[in-house]
Amino acid sequence: MSPWFRIQEFAVEIGLRLAKLVVAGLIGAIVYWTLTNVVGAPGSVELALASWIAGMLVFVIVETGIF
């Protein structure tokens, strides 16, 4: 394998991992917005982190094809 192919493969892998973080962040932002505006929970850093983790869990569950 040429070094260029390995660098290209590495760049694609980094892009995919960053895309997963962005998608988890978007799902987490929707969860956070729902909890703070619809449910009426007070906003906090702990709630934001829990929402991001919930977004990542939803993304992993959908990605693995459980549903």
Per the listing, tokens 């978007």 go with: 26
What is this structure's pTM? 0.77
pLDDT digits (tens, 9 = 90+) for 5-61: 888 999 999 998 899 889 889 999 999 999 999 999 999 999 999 999 999 898 888
**Which residues 6+ apart lie within 8 Å of 61 measured at CB?**
67
Neighbours of 28 (CB within 10 A): 22
Ranges of H-type helices in the chain: 3-33, 45-64
Q: What is the CA radius of gyration of the chain?
A: 16
